[in-house]
């Protein structure tokens, strides 16, 4: 029978009555996070879409050692926040737009020399992932009927195009840094390359990813393979509880025992091996015959050519 997070907490509380309710919830949530980190569980699969909007250009004034860019022939709009700006060099990120003054603020001061009435470009060079993003399963390119290379490193991109002069249809996502934009602060971010600078067309790239575990809510049923094996989560939480000495010396936790914690750990490993096999039967992840670095992208054309 499926159990909710609250019901799992109650089962732990029955065995550790001296533990406050909030501490019990922490035992269960901590155990949940650790169990979810063991593998790419079926319940942690998600999907999204990378959208590259059309670029726009115009003349601007830029000042050395100043982060503010003033539009002259370019009009900055609120939607430009989070997008990238550049003249000819590597891009800066727009973190603020003042529509009334027709200015934008960059994520760092302008490094090159000052320039007046020079042509600037606003476009999408970096893509920010969802808050729960863990890792990619795949990124698709419907326009080229291929997959996007998401395992490119910054070093590889820097060697391939250090000045970021190549533009056109994107073929790769390279690791970058966490977002500096307030609305998406510290989210995982990738650089999409070559840069899409088309002023009239939008590019969309559906992707599949593995999520990070969420903070469970009281009435939330345990998902995926844990839905009918809530006892494994309770077992893991009790292992946490067995390491808690109690509220104070005068009120020791009767459940506190290093040997008990060790036994719980051994049993947990046995049960987790069973549960991982169950989850593997839902979605196959263990079998991979060809490593990604040696794998040629496969498209529908490869199958259709043999019909």
Over residues 129-186, the pLDDT tens digits come to 999 999 999 999 999 999 999 999 999 999 999 999 999 999 999 999 999 999 999 9
Indicate whether 287 belongs to any domain.
no
Q: Are residues 244 and 177 in the same domain?
A: no
Indicate whether 301 belongs to any domain.
no
Preceding omega of 219 cis (within 30 degrees of 0): no
The yes-or-no verdict on residue 295 having pLDDT over 90 is no
Q: Are residues 61 and 106 in the same domain?
A: yes
> β-strand 149-152 against 172-175: which pairing, if any?
parallel
SS percent in the chain: helix, strand, coil, step 5: 30, 30, 40
Indicate whether 139 belongs to any domain.
no
Q: Are residues 186 and 112 in the same domain?
A: yes
The yes-or-no verdict on residue 289 having pLDDT over 80 is no
Tens digits of residue pLDDT in 65-103: 999 999 999 999 999 999 999 998 889 999 999 999 999
Indicate whether 112 belongs to any domain.
yes
Q: Give the pLDDT band (50/70/90) at residue 285.
A: confident
Instruction: Report how many domains make up the chain.
Output: 2
Q: Are residues 217 and 181 in the same domain?
A: no
Indicate whether 102 belongs to any domain.
yes
pTM: 0.85
The yes-or-no verdict on residue 288 having pLDDT over 70 is no
Q: Are residues 62 and 116 in the same domain?
A: yes
Q: Are residues 75 and 186 in the same domain?
A: yes
Tens digits of residue pLDDT in 245-265: 998 888 899 999 999 999 999
Between 43 and 284, the higher pLDDT residue: 43
Q: How far apart are CA 244 and CA 156, in angstroms?
A: 48
Q: Are residues 83 and 176 in the same domain?
A: yes
The yes-or-no verdict on residue 298 having pLDDT over 70 is no
Q: Are residues 81 and 194 in the same domain?
A: yes
Indicate whether 207 belongs to any domain.
no
Candidates 36, 30, 14, 15; CA nearest to 272 is 36
Q: Are residues 188 and 231 in the same domain?
A: no
Q: Which of 202, 224, 244 is the last residue of a domain?
A: 202
Q: Are residues 116 and 232 in the same domain?
A: no
Indicate whether 134 belongs to any domain.
no
Q: Are residues 61 and 196 in the same domain?
A: yes
Indicate whether 219 belongs to any domain.
yes
Q: Are residues 88 and 183 in the same domain?
A: yes
Tens digits of residue pLDDT in 199-253: 999 999 999 999 999 899 999 999 999 999 999 999 999 999 999 999 888 889 9
By CB atoms closer than 10 A (0-12, 13-18, 19+), residue 132 is: middle
Candidates 168, 179, 178, 159; CA nearest to 141 is 168
Least confident of 26-30, 95-99, 258-262, 286-290: 286-290
Domain interval for residue 109: 55-127+148-202
Tens digits of residue pLDDT in 118-128: 999 999 999 99
């Amino acid at each position: 029978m499926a159990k909710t997070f609250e019901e799992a907490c109650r089962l732990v509380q029955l065995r550790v009555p001296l533990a406050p309710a909030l501490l019990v919830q922490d035992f269960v949530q901590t155990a949940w996070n650790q169990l979810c980190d063991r593998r790419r569980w079926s319940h942690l699969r998600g999907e999204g879409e990378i959208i590259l909007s059309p670029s726009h250009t115009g003349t601007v004034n830029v000042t050395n050692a100043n982060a503010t860019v003033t539009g002259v022939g370019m009009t900055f709009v609120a939607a430009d926040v989070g997008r990238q700006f550049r003249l000819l060099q590597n891009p800066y990120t727009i973190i603020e737009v003042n529509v009334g003054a027709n200015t934008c603020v960059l994520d760092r001061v302008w490094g090159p020399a000052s320039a007046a009435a020079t042509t600037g470009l606003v476009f999408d060079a970096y893509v920010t992932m969802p808050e729960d993003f863990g890792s990619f399963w795949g990124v698709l390119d419907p326009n080229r009927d291929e997959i996007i290379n998401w395992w490119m490193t910054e070093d590889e991109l820097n060697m391939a195009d250090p000045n970021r002069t190549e533009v056109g249809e994107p073929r790769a996502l390279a690791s970058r840094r966490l977002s500096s934009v307030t609305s998406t602060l510290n989210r995982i971010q990738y650089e999409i390359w070559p840069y899409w600078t088309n002023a009239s067309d939008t590019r969309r790239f559906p992707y599949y990813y593995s999520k990070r575990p969420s903070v469970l809510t009281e009435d939330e049923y345990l998902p995926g393979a844990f839905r009918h094996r809530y006892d494994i989560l309770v077992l893991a939480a009790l292992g946490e509880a067995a390491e808690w000495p109690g509220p104070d010396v005068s009120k020791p936790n009767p459940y506190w025992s290093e040997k008990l914690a060790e036994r719980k750990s051994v049993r947990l490993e046995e049960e987790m091996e069973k549960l991982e096999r169950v989850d593997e039967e839902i979605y196959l992840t263990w079998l991979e015959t060809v490593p990604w670095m040696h794998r040629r992208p496969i498209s529908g054309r490869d199958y259709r050519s043999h019909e």
